Structure 1
């Protein structure tokens, strides 16, 4: 088992009134929720951890962490650019990839661990969290999908690949819709 965690934290928050990743929920910046949940996972679950961001505040906060910071200076190119930057950092490594976004503050570490374990037990090449069968994030890609990930363009992420290979996907049903909820505007918050 060799899996790299890649946190995507470079979006432009177009539908949000300001930088949503720094928006505080219960006194904590939104992006910190996923960091703290990842910190609860067993040591060794991930061989490496990367965070792709354009935000100085996040870079400053993460500079002394175990995450390699990948700077995205062209976030306008869409999520595919963040994916490409991470994969270029890992181009000489034989690894699988877990991509997670930093605007899902209700995602639990136990769910992430179950997704990783289910991926390996299933022997499939893809995995993602879902709710009522609808795929969401995080998502896992075997190293054999690197080329297809590099072919993504614009604001199209890995969901396209998952839809293109339905027989090679392990789906983990989330316990609640809240875990998959991404915050796109201030009214999206759950109580």
Structure 2
């Protein structure tokens, strides 16, 4: 079993409204990501913080677990630490974790399954998506790096660990990973074909 963690605790300060609740077609960004994750894994954990009640209410009828990060304002590192601690406590046999965010609208179940399958085949301990010449989320970390994930602070995301261990990273091409939604302009520029 490979848990998938959806990091969705931020306040969307650049957007001015919770981007997790922006609609693309019939579903919100957060709902779309939960649907993709639950189709790829039997274990999905959503980390929420800002706007907890409003966001949790939109996914209460799914199979995803929900955790509240009281330290969400400190940054993504606090959500990653919370997720790893929870998984190690509740699922002691876990040896891989997928981390994803909720503002990459092109992430789907097929991509998440590919990452999980790839992790089981390659010797590298980190499997990251590659787009626009960078490596990023969604990303799989094997057990060797759980302790390092627990040392992240504040706004540090897992990218710091990728950069420190480039020799141990296997990449999966995901060109559309470069499309994310941080501002109202980003949202308004999404192609109509994405409205599924």
Per the alignment, residue 75 of structure 1 pairs with 72
Instruction: Specify the alignment match of 1:48 in structure 2.
Output: 43
CA shift digits 1:24-67 (9 cap, x unpaired): 223432211212222433xxxx3522111022122223334322
Of 20-29 and 8-17, the range deviating more from structure 2: 20-29
2:56 aligned to 49, 54, 59, which one? 59
**What corresponds to 2:194 in structure 1?**
none
Question: Separation in 1 of the partners of 2:133 and 2:114?
Answer: 16
Contact 1:81 1:154 in 2 (8 A): yes
**Residue 34 and residue 143 in structure 1: after superposition, are their counterparts in 2 closer, same or farther (change >3 A)?**
same
Of the three residues 86, 90, 93, the one matched with 2:83 is 86
Structure 1 window deviating more from structure 2 (104-113 vs 165-174): it is 104-113
1:132, distance to aligned residue in structure 2 (A):
4.2
d(CA) in 1 for partners of 2:72 and 2:32?
22
Counterpart in the other structure of 2:184: 186
Q: Counterpart of 1:123?
A: 123
User: Deviation digits for residues 147-176 of structure 1, max 9, x if unmatched?
Assistant: 1101111111111101111111110011x3
Q: How many residues align?
A: 184
Q: Could you tell me which residue of structure 2 aligns to residue 108 of structure 1?
A: 108
Paired residue secondary structure (1:18) = coil
Bigger fraction of residues in helix: 2
C-alpha contact 1:50 1:68 (8 A) present in aligned 2: yes
Listed as ranges, the gaps of 5+ residues in structure 2 are 192-196
CA-based RMSD of the aligned residues comes to: 1.7
Secondary structure at the counterpart of residue 69 of structure 1: strand
The TM-score normalised by the length of structure 2 is 0.86
Q: How does 1:170-181 map to 2 (within 5 A)?
A: 170-174=170-174, 176-177=175-176, 179-181=177-179
Distance in 1, matches of 2:157 and 2:111, equals: 21
